[in-house]
Amino acid sequence: MLTHKGTRIIETSRLILRRAVHEDAEPMFRNWASDPEVTKFLTWQPHQNIEVTQKVLAGWLAEYEQDDYYHWMIVIKETGEPIGSLLASTVGRAQSAHIGYCIGKTWWHQGIMSEALRAVIDYLFGDVGYHRIEAMHDPNNPNSGRVMRKCGMRYEGTTHASDRNNQGICDADHYAILRSDWRKPKHFMEGYTADSDTALVQEIYRRKSENDRLNKSQAARVEFLTTVRYIEKYLTPGAKLLDVGAGAGEYSLYFARKGYQVSALELADANIASFRGKMTEADSIDLVQGNALDLSRYDSYSFDAVLLLGPLYHLHAESDKLRCIEEAKRVCKKDGKIFFAFISNDMVILTMQQLHADYLLSGDYNKETFRLDDFPFVFHTVDHCRELLGKAGIQICHEVAADGASELLQDLVNGLDEASYQQYLQYHIYICEKPEFLGMSSHLLFVGKPMS
């Protein structure tokens, strides 16, 4: 049973969602209503003058007299200015809520629309009592679908040539969330909006422990053992290693205890604490907190091996990825090696389907290109890894499926006796560099050296 309460003020960390007022006409016209890029996939034309905006606002204000009218201005707290709007309408005999929204392009790709939509979903379910909230978008505007998925909405299908917008007749991708799903436990990062990659890294490892990721099971250990095997191919006694993005210290501690000189740099507070908790008085590791984009504390050409086994999980902008690699090249000896770890885009879809029975239909990926949404981690295909390293001036020596099918087959792998597990590891090493197996791995390892 619905209990209509009208458009009430909703506050989030960065936003105030409120009713429109007459004074919103000028910022509405300036910030989004007059912009053809904003309205490209919408059903209304960009406003040609502020008089059009004033007329539209007048219509909205009249509707507020109805307690079943839900139309919010999205206002940035910092400036007090509206930057977009969000409308929820009751549809169908089942009385679902249909959502529509838009936001000025200056504020795109900052998580603002997701923050607003998530708050409205909570209000419509928790306060009003809707049992279903739905939305749709033109498939040519995939960013709108990403907003829906980040807010827990599931993809329900595409209807062809079923809608019309400013581009003409178009297909429509349909999403919805049910009240029963809204009540379920959410993804560990759902509800978080990052201001930067640095803030996101801190929050990921505050919520998700990295402490035993590489040693919690036989299946989890495959990635570690494979990576160590390739690093040791290139080490000589007394070699100097720099572990950038050292996590909870699994690799640094292993190599330090093997007698190598290890320096480690890690960004996340939680990982630093876990790392320090594992160290003993005998562990002479130079552990510091810092960012992979700035290795200025280290001399040029000073390390035999540089490990980038974490940073490329978290850097979204290509310019930052290239800067990270350039820093690693600078501190690596001219005859040294750099080890790059990536999360594989293509395998994640299968491993996630194993965890969530509806992931293939509702997961966070483009249903045609199979490109994952880079949140909270960043995903790479094998080809993208090659392109990135080539652009960064890295000559690739090895391309490795670091854990192969171990995560997908973790129940099988974890159930192996010791002799069978050792044979599985030998089989994995046998296939891990075969091109036909590369993409079918949850993690990828690339070994390279700076081009002369």
Model pLDDT, residue 357: 76
Query: What Cα–Cα distance (Å) separates residue 325 from each residue in 270, 309, 338, 350, 449?
Result: 24, 12, 9, 29, 11
Q: What is the DSSP letter of 411?
A: H
Q: What is the pLDDT of residues 436-447, one digit of tens each?
A: 999 999 999 999
Model pLDDT, residue 184: 66
Q: What is the pLDDT of residues 17-44, one digit of tens each?
A: 999 999 999 999 999 999 999 999 999 9
Beta bridge partners of residue 76, listed in sequence order: 15
Residue 210 banded pLDDT, cuts 50, 70, 90: very high
Structure tokens at 93: 């005999």
Q: What is the DSSP letter of 163?
A: E
pTM over 0.75: no
Structure tokens at 377: 């981690």
Model pLDDT, residue 194: 72
Model pLDDT, residue 315: 97
- pLDDT over 70 (residue 186): no
- pLDDT over 90 (residue 356): no
With b meaning 16 or more CB within 10 Å and e meaning fewer, what string describes 261-285? Answer: bbbbbbbbebbbebbeeeeeeebeb
Least trusted range by pLDDT, from 147-156, 232-241, 269-278 = 147-156
Model pLDDT, residue 93: 86
Beta-carbon count within 10 A of 119 CB: 21
H helices within 78-196, ranges in order?
112-123, 142-150, 179-182
**Torsion angles phi and psi, residue 118, rounded to 5:** -60, -40
Identify the CA nearest to 84 among candidates 35, 45, 32. 32
- pLDDT over 70 (residue 287): yes
Model pLDDT, residue 189: 79
Peptide bond preceding 36 in cis form (omega within 30 of 0):
no
Mean pLDDT of 272-278: 96
Q: What is the pLDDT of residues 374-419, one digit of tens each?
A: 989 999 999 999 999 999 999 999 999 999 999 999 999 999 999 9
Identify the CA nearest to 223 among candidates 36, 400, 372. 400
Q: Which residues are CB-contacts of 211 (< 8 A; sequence separation ≥ 6)?
A: 248, 274
Domains of the chain: 10-193 (3.40.630.30), 207-450 (3.40.50.150)
Beta-strand runs (E) in 55-152:
70-76, 82-91, 96-103, 132-137
Given a contact cutoff of 8 angstroms between Cβ atoms, the answer to whether 307 and 189 are in contact is no
- pLDDT over 90 (residue 355): no
d(CA 318, CA 325): 11
Amino acid occupying residue 34: S
Instruction: Provide the mean pLDDT of the chain.
Output: 94
The sign one gets for the Cα dihedral 202, 208, 209, 212 is: negative
Q: What is the pLDDT of residues 66-97, one digit of tens each?
A: 999 999 999 999 999 999 999 999 998 888 99
Name the percent of the chain lying above pLDDT 70. 99
d(CA 130, CA 183): 13
Beta-strand runs (E) in 286-442:
286-289, 303-308, 332-344, 379-380, 394-401
Strands 394-401 and 443-450: antiparallel
